[in-house]
């Protein structure tokens, strides 16, 4: 019974945080495009820096 309740709570929390993930992804994408334009490098270089 505990596992079922834990799974239900986990799914609810994951669904509630979807908007925050989307906002974070948009912010990261925007910052990457700004850096790419400023430095004049390819996007693969920025991915290496993010890692």
pLDDT per residue, tens digit, the chain (51 aa), is 999 999 999 999 999 999 999 999 999 888 888 888 888 887 777 777 766
**Is pTM beyond 0.85 here?**
no
- Count of CA atoms in the C-beta half-sphere (13 A) of 4: 1
Matching residue, tokens 């912010």: 27
Question: Which pLDDT score, from 0 to 100, does residue 51 have?
Answer: 63
DSSP string spanning 5-29? HHHHHHHHHHHHTHHHHHHHHHHHH
Contact 41, 50 (CB under 8 A): no
Contact 36, 46 (CB under 8 A): yes
């Amino acid at each position: 019974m505990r596992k079922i309740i834990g799974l239900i709570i986990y799914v609810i929390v994951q669904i509630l945080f979807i908007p925050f993930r989307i906002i974070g992804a948009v912010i990261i994408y925007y910052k990457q495009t700004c850096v790419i334009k400023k430095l004049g490098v390819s996007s693969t270089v920025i991915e290496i820096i993010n890692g």
